[in-house]
Every structure is written in structure tokens, then in C-alpha cells.
Amino acid sequence: MVKTLGTARHKALIALLIEKRETAGLTQVELASRLGEYQSFVARLESGQRRVDVVEFLELASILEFEPDAILSRLLKVH
């Protein structure tokens, strides 16, 4: 299995999640609160230090109001 942290696809995912958070008008603190996590959790995620698992991704999609399949389709095009 290829390491995923720091790959082009991982960077694209992080950029999209940051964009969605900012579009939703949420700070890292506000998003963390909605996730039931600390701000440092979101900071590690957005800095690329942490992977996003599928369940977290779906929760982020719900909170940030985006369609997870649309994001996945975009990521499939990144190499």
C-alpha cells in the first residue's frame, strides 16, 4: 500500500476540506466543536499531518454540507 500523507490526492482533499469549511463560514474551533473534537484535531487534519477516515469524511460532509460523492469524483481525477 502506498503511503497517502503528502500525496497529490491527499493535498487536494485537504484543500477541498479547507475550502468547504471556509465557505461554510466556520473557524477551526467551530468545526472542532461540531465534531466533538479539539481545535488541534482540525489543525492536524488541515495541515496534512493526519489522515481522514471514511466515517470522519462523511461527518465532515454532513457538517460542511457537501456531497461526499462529488468530492470523491474530483479526487479520482487527481494523480
| Domains of the chain, earliest start first | 8-76 (1.10.260.40)
Q: How confident is the model at residue 9 (pLDDT cuts 50, 70, 90)?
A: very high
Query: Confidence class of residue 1 from pLDDT cuts 50, 70 and 90?
Result: low
Classify burial at 69, counting beta carbons within 10 Å of its beta carbon; exposed 0-12, middle 13-18, buried 19 or more.
exposed
Kindly list the distances between the CA atom of residue 76 and the CA atoms of 10, 46, 69, 70, in Å, as whole numbers in the listed order.
11, 20, 10, 10
Note the pLDDT tens digit of each residue in 33-47: 999 999 999 999 999
- The per-residue pLDDT of the chain, averaged, comes to 95
pTM over 0.75: yes
